[in-house]
Structure 1
Amino acid sequence: MERLFGMIFGSGGNVVKETAEVFRVNAEAQATRDAGLREAALEQFAAEFAAPRRSRFDRLMDALNRLPRPAMALGTLGLFVAAMVDPAWFAARMTGIALVPEPLWWLLGAVVSFYFGARHQAKGQEFQRQLTAAMADAPRVMGQLREIEALRAAPEAAHPPDDTLVQENAALADWRATRG
């Protein structure tokens, strides 16, 4: 009896368990592997998408960089409100602006043009990169469209008979051939 148990369970190992794991995956070990895989993927995503550390100066500069457009838009709207609320005050300010020399207007135009021009160029280049990526993907999309159109032209191709869905297993075919 002892030899029989020794043969079945081996010396310290579980032969039945090890043999069963040849045919069926150990669920607990698979769950451990899956959890490790998910954890590694999450760590990779966290490292990839983590915001880089930025100094207070960098954050301050970003905040100041975002101010001119809203300030100009709100300032222009404020001028319209001021013109309606106190026309005399508004007229006095506009008279002062009329006295600004033309070279100063040119300088202001250059500063604003460079500021918005640089932003426009950066956004334009980003748009060009996105457009290039979309164009590079066009052949794949066109292939998918052709496949969809082919399915639309022949609806029976979308639902093939059941026997075409089953692929023949070469090993099973050999086994059947040897069995007669």
Structure 2
Amino acid sequence: MGLINQIAVLLFGEGRNVVTETMGAFVENAENAATREADGKSRALQQYAAEFGGTNKGTFDRVIDGANRLPRPLLAFGTLGLFVMAMVDPIWFAARMQGIALVPEPLWWLMGAIVSFYFGARHQAKAYEFQQSVANTAAQAVEVTQRVRAIEALGAGAALTAPAANDNPALDAWRQEHDG
């Protein structure tokens, strides 16, 4: 008994767990990793709130925010406007397209990169929001299923224990008074 006790104290005694400490050197502790991840997300959200959460923005900040919202609508409405102008005034449209034909290819590549990054970042953000929405809905599916089963069980139990239609003495007395 003394030898086993000494081995147990060596491995697990004095408030330590040598096996766990040794395994920690080779395998990440999932609980600690989750804590670190939650802390990191919390710090990022705090930084975001500090940077963008202020409601007392100055004129410059409001102008820049407004300018940042302009490219998508301007590109969309500008493209639609070109289609309209091609039908309304084909000569004017042809003259503008000849001017665009003179734009050098490297400038087209630069324009493509700018537009791709601008819209690609927005697409990525919206896709992430959609995935979060799907994940939240899927997480609720189990709970909703359990609730539906509980409600169905209540309905089945109520149907089994419900009194018969003629099993109500008060209703029978009322019918006798009014049937005459």
Q: Distance in 1 between matches of 2:161 and 2:147?
A: 14
Q: Distance in 2 between matches of 1:57 and 1:159?
A: 71
Structure 1 residues 157 and 66: alpha-carbon distance in aligned structure 2, compared to 1, 3 A threshold: farther
Matches within 5 A, 1:15-30: none
Asked if residue 134 in structure 1 is aligned to residue 137 in structure 2, the reply is yes
Question: In angstroms, what is the RMSD of aligned CA positions?
Answer: 2.8
Structure 1 residues 158 and 51: alpha-carbon distance in aligned structure 2, compared to 1, 3 A threshold: farther
Asked if residue 76 in structure 1 is aligned to residue 79 in structure 2, the reply is yes
Q: Distance in 2 between matches of 1:106 and 1:158?
A: 76
Structure 2 unmatched ranges of 5 or more = 1-52, 165-180
Conserved in 2, the CA contact under 8 Å of 1:151 and 1:158?
Answer: no
AA in 1 matched with 2:107: L
* Equivalent residue for 2:109, pick from 100, 106, 109: 106
Structure 1 residues 106 and 99: alpha-carbon distance in aligned structure 2, compared to 1, 3 A threshold: same
The equivalent residue for 1:53 is 56
Instruction: Tell me the alpha carbon deviations over residues 122-151 of structure 1, each in whole angstroms, 9 at most, x when there is no partner.
Output: 112222222222222222111112223335
Q: Distance in 1 between matches of 2:136 and 2:57?
A: 30
Q: Distance in 1 between matches of 2:118 and 2:126?
A: 13
Structure 1 residues 98 and 144: alpha-carbon distance in aligned structure 2, compared to 1, 3 A threshold: same
> Following superposition, which runs of at least 4 residues in structure 1 exceed 4 angstroms of deviation?
151-155, 157-161
Q: Distance in 2 between matches of 1:114 and 1:138?
A: 36
Instruction: Tell me the alpha carbon deviations over residues 24-43 of structure 1, each in whole angstroms, 9 at most, x when there is no partner.
Output: xxxxxxxxxxxxxxxxxxxx
Compute the displacement of 1:67 (Å).
Answer: 0.9
Q: Distance in 1 between matches of 2:162 and 2:72?
A: 57
AA in 1 matched with 2:128: Q
The equivalent residue for 2:123 is 120
Conserved in 2, the CA contact under 8 Å of 1:151 and 1:157?
Answer: no
Identity rate, percent: 61
| TM-score, length basis structure 2 | 0.53
| TM-score, length basis structure 1 | 0.53
Conserved in 2, the CA contact under 8 Å of 1:79 and 1:90?
Answer: yes
Structure 1 unmatched ranges of 5 or more = 1-49, 162-180
Conserved in 2, the CA contact under 8 Å of 1:83 and 1:90?
Answer: yes
Q: Distance in 2 between matches of 1:113 and 1:150?
A: 54
